[in-house]
């Protein structure tokens, strides 16, 4: 049971409505306050325990289902449920229904923030097994005795686990969850194909005899020090601790969506903002050819080093270590194409306004948060741009998260 004072007022019978951000459903408490209830489904009647409250709303966990949805299933993970591991939001939801809920969340953000009415379909992506076995990287917390687990929802408390069903078989082969990590504060395990990588925040600890690279406090101490990935026939290397999409099919799905939407032509100029290790920059460089050019902008120096290595055969691709801010954007000139792949906070209003002024032929916006994307989209639409296409990809099954790829054009002057 989640932590909450066990007075009668803290246990409520609620009728659940639409999905809300955070993996919850919206309900109305008897006192009129809005309640955000996790572990439920729209249309269900549940008994819920209040986990926190403010003057205006409650947070609660459904601990008993009085009237169940037809989309409810038994969670495959033994650590899922009220007060347990906070990593998955939808273990109790059938996979097709998960995607419908995500689509509703995106549509609601578009309607409320961007003032856009648009029907969204969340597409499956090859690489998982019925929504499981897709995380190529996991981050584990460690308690004072060296036992590892995942954080509970909205808590620093640790739920000890001996395995993770959404982690890939390669990650699980390391066996990190079954080891004691005394003196460490966190453990990260990442895998790609047959290579496995373990990074530890804290003291060095004994590892099992597996093919693995090790980094302590983010510094590699034993090879392999990087992981290799192949996307659309092109090889990439990512240093230990570097960012790469965690779903095995994500990079290929995103790259295909971006390239199909932009349709880069030989001789065109392109800009890749928040370029990371150069996933899009390298593929754009192949397509625009030596008569074209690509500028990749990334603030993280280590990612830029990876990007430079991953585009070393493409001299017309330039890597710039710089923050993506309005000044940087305005100095980009007049590119034909722009790829925008910001972190969860989005590009932001000022950067988006600067981008609107560049007026490239087309812009691909890759977004991992529907709310921040809708905010930035509203800025572009207000500047006369048009939304030509929008795809939603299910890169994070069993969670509320979804990846968006939007194609936009500046519209007539």
pLDDT in tens, 5-42: 444 449 999 999 999 989 999 999 999 999 999 999 99
| 25 is annotated as an active-site residue | no
Can you tell me the mean pLDDT for 190-194? 68
Task: Label residues 136-148 b or e (16+ Cβ within 10 Å = b).
Answer: bbbebbbeeeebb
Joined tokens for residue 321? 């270590």
Residue 215: pLDDT band with limits 50, 70, 90 = very low
Q: Which helix (H) or strand (E) holds 282?
A: helix 279-288
pLDDT at 222: 45
- More reliable by pLDDT, 198 or 335: 335
DSSP state of 177: G
Give whole-number Cα distances, 351 to 33, 321, 326, 355, 360, in Å: 37, 17, 5, 6, 15
Has residue 391 got a pLDDT over 90? Answer: yes
pLDDT at 316: 98
- Residue 380 phi, psi dihedral angles, 5° rounding: -65, -45
Whether the CB-CB separation of 339 and 354 falls below 8 Å is answered with no
Write down the catalytic residue from 25, 85, 164, 368: 368
- Residue 2 phi, psi dihedral angles, 5° rounding: -65, 155
Has residue 246 got a pLDDT over 80? Answer: yes
Has residue 287 got a pLDDT over 50? Answer: yes
**Domain spanning 8-72, CATH architecture:** Beta Barrel (2.40)
Strands 403-409 and 337-340: unpaired
Has residue 206 got a pLDDT over 70? Answer: no
Kindly report, as residue ranges, where domains of CATH 3.40.50.150 are found in the chain: 247-409
Q: Which residues contact 356 (CB under 8 A, 6 or more apart)?
A: 379, 380, 383, 384, 385, 410
Has residue 392 got a pLDDT over 90? Answer: yes
Alpha-carbon distance 210 to 112, whole Å? Answer: 50
Has residue 209 got a pLDDT over 70? Answer: no
| pLDDT averaged over every residue in the chain | 91
Nearest partner of 148 among 179, 183, 174, 189, judged by Cα: 179
Reported CATH class of domain 247-409: alpha beta
């Amino acid at each position: 049971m989640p932590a909450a004072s066990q007075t009668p007022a803290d246990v409520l019978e609620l009728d659940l409505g639409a999905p809300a951000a955070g993996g919850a459903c919206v309900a109305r408490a008897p006192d009129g306050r809005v309640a955000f209830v996790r572990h439920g489904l729209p249309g269900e009647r549940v008994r819920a325990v209040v986990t926190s409250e403010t003057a205006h709303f409650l947070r609660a966990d459904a601990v008993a289902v009085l009237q169940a949805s037809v989309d409810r299933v038994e969670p495959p993970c033994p650590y899922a449920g009220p007060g347990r591991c906070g990593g998955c939001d939808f273990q109790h939801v059938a996979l097709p229904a998960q995607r419908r809920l995500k689509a509703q969340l995106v549509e609601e953000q578009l309607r409320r923030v961007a003032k856009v009415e648009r029907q969204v379909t969340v597409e499956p992506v090859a690489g998982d097994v019925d929504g499981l076995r897709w995380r190529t990287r996991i981050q584990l917390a460690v308690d004072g005795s060296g036992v590892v687990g995942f954080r509970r929802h909205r808590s620093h408390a640790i739920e000890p686990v001996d395995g993770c069903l959404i982690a890939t078989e390669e990650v699980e082969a390391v066996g990190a969850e079954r080891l004691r990590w005394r003196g460490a504060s966190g453990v990260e395990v990442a895998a790609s194909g047959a290579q496995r990588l373990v990074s530890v925040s804290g003291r060095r600890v004994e590892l099992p005899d597996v093919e693995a690279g090790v980094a302590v406090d983010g510094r590699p101490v034993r090879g392999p020090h990087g992981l290799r990935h192949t996307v659309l026939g092109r090889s990439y290397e990512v240093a230990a601790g570097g960012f790469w999409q965690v779903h095995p099919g994500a990079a290929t799905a995103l790259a295909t969506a971006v390239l199909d939407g932009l349709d880069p032509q030989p001789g065109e100029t392109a800009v890749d903002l928040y370029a990371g290790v150069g996933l899009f920059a390298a593929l754009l460089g192949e397509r625009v050819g030596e008569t074209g050019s690509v500028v990749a902008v990334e603030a993280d120096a280590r990612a830029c080093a990876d990007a430079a290595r991953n585009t070393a055969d493409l001299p017309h691709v330039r890597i710039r270590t710089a923050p993506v801010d309005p000044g940087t954007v305005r100095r980009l000139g007049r590119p034909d194409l722009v790829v925008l792949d910001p972190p969860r906070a989005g590009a932001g209003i000022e950067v988006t306004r600067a981008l609107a002024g560049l007026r490239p032929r087309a812009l691909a916006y890759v977004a991992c948060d529907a709310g921040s994307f809708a905010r930035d989209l509203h800025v572009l639409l207000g500047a006369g741009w048009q939304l030509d296409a929008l795809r939603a990809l299910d890169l994070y099954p069993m969670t509320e998260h979804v990846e968006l790829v939007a194609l936009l054009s500046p519209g007539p002057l």
